[in-house]
Amino acid sequence: MKLPERPLGDAIRLASTSVTVLPDEEYRIAGIYSFGRGLIKRPTIRGTETSYSTLTRLQSGQLAMSKLNAWEGAITLVPEEFSGAHVSPEYPVFDINEEIAEPSYIAHLASWPTLWDRLTPRGSMVRRKRTTPSALMGTIVPMPDLDEQRRIATRLDTAFAKVSEVEEAQACRTKLSSAFAESTISSALEQANTSAKVGDIMTLTRRPVSPNLNEDYREIGIRSFGRGVFHKEPLKGETLGNKRVFAIKPGDLLFSNVFAWEGAVALAGESEEGFIGSHRFMTYRVNETVADSSYLRHYFTCRHGLEVIRRASPGSAGRNRTLGIKNFESQLIPLPKLEIQQETGRRLDEISNGLSFASSADITNSLRPSLLNTAFDGRL
């Protein structure tokens, strides 16, 4: 059953809780994350440290949004822990009329991507456009009667609690898996009987692709922290323009030259056959007579291998630490016997494949918007 809709402004009104900034007073400051992630704790400031003449004091149960980023989910209900914090005039705050709307229902509504879409400014230069309070209040949203709102909110609370339990279990499994991998790699290294330069055991192999304008292409990406490859949506060759791309083959050891230092390293499998990668991804073929590609994949995402990559990734400006190819290939690494590498790689593959990151974490991530869609379509 489709839920009745009405303007959000029927349930919220602009709050008047602004305070005059005094030079000697201290103000606890908050911001708002995008993508429905709630409020941010910012440092406390003195009145002399802001150019604003007024700030808005938050109260629990209010709805707050960012004028600049509301269209990408910077909108949230204020929890108790942020009551008394302050935001700038760039963050309009609204009181909820509880005779019309249940605050917990509004909280779920604020985290609904479809609402963000309805706030998305149209036209060019989207990131320079702002969502005004009147635009938010004029947005049409599902708004059933109070009893139905409470029922929906309770169902969503219960469902999200279960999703959180699954996410916590996944995080625990991932932590245990990482500890096991570190221990297993360290044990293998204790048995190393020789050393070799990186460039002597694997070779940078580039296969340039010249896209045809009307053909479809699939690009890969590499997750940081050893979480493997992901696949991007197909795109036409004309969309690639002058972008330099290269073919990916199963067995390629892949390094993101921008984020390898934080574990953006992966081993291409059969599912990557026919895919392409940008020039930012270094594709290496391992000499399997002296080294095992699975072992090296795990080695370079554990502490010992990351230290090698970081030595070859100069720079300290935030995340801007590009992998230097010549420097990397000249690094000397300890090398266990081939059979030890193979056994280590096999054992760690079994663990990481069992975690099924792409099929478990990605599924739970998609559950939240799916549940919200179901609820606000009247199907929960």
Q: What percent of the chain has pLDDT over 90?
A: 79
User: How does pLDDT run across 272-288, given as a tens digit for each residue?
Assistant: 999 999 999 999 999 99
Of the candidates 341, 344, 306, which has an alpha carbon nearest to the alpha carbon of residue 181?
A: 344
Inform me whether the pLDDT recorded for 269 exceeds 90: yes
Would you say the CATH fold of 194-335 matches that of 5-143?
yes
Q: What is the mean pLDDT of the chain?
A: 91
Least confident segment among 105-114, 130-139, 371-380: 371-380
Distances (CA, A) of 269 to 210, 287, 294: 23, 17, 11
User: How does pLDDT run across 230-241, given as a tens digit for each residue?
Assistant: 999 899 999 888
* pLDDT of the residue at 352: 79
Measured from the Cβ of residue 289, the count of other Cβ atoms closer than 10 Å reads 7
Instruction: Please tell me the distance from the alpha carbon of residue 157 to that of residue 62, in angstroms, as a whole number.
Output: 19
Considering the segment(s) 5-143 as one domain, its CATH architecture is Alpha-Beta Complex (3.90)
Quick one: CA dihedral 329, 332, 336, 340, positive or negative?
negative
* pLDDT of the residue at 178: 87
Instruction: Please tell me the distance from the alpha carbon of residue 18 to that of residue 58, in angstroms, as a whole number.
Output: 9
Region 195-218: mean pLDDT is: 95
Position 353 confidence tier, pLDDT thresholds 50, 70, 90: confident
CATH topology of domain 194-335: Adenine-n6-DNA-methyltransferase TaqI; Chain A, domain 2 (3.90.220)
Which residue's structure tokens are 């005039």?
Answer: 89
Position 361 confidence tier, pLDDT thresholds 50, 70, 90: low
Region 343-360: mean pLDDT is: 75
* pLDDT of the residue at 360: 55
Tell me which of 171 and 262 has the higher pLDDT: 262
* pLDDT of the residue at 123: 52
Q: Are 338 and 296 in contact (CB under 8 A)?
A: no
Domain locations in the chain as residue ranges: 5-143, 144-177+340-380, 194-335
User: How does pLDDT run across 172-195, given as a tens digit for each residue?
Assistant: 877 888 899 999 999 999 999 999
Start-to-end C-alpha separation, the chain: 10
Inform me whether the pLDDT recorded for 109 exceeds 50: yes
Tell me which of 84 and 175 has the higher pLDDT: 84
Inform me whether the pLDDT recorded for 151 exceeds 70: yes
Of the candidates 172, 181, 189, 244, which has an alpha carbon nearest to the alpha carbon of residue 211?
A: 244
Rounded to 5°, angle at Cα 308 from 194 and 279: 115
Quick one: CA dihedral 91, 92, 95, 101, positive or negative?
negative
Q: Are 226 and 253 in contact (CB under 8 A)?
A: no
Inform me whether the pLDDT recorded for 358 exceeds 50: no
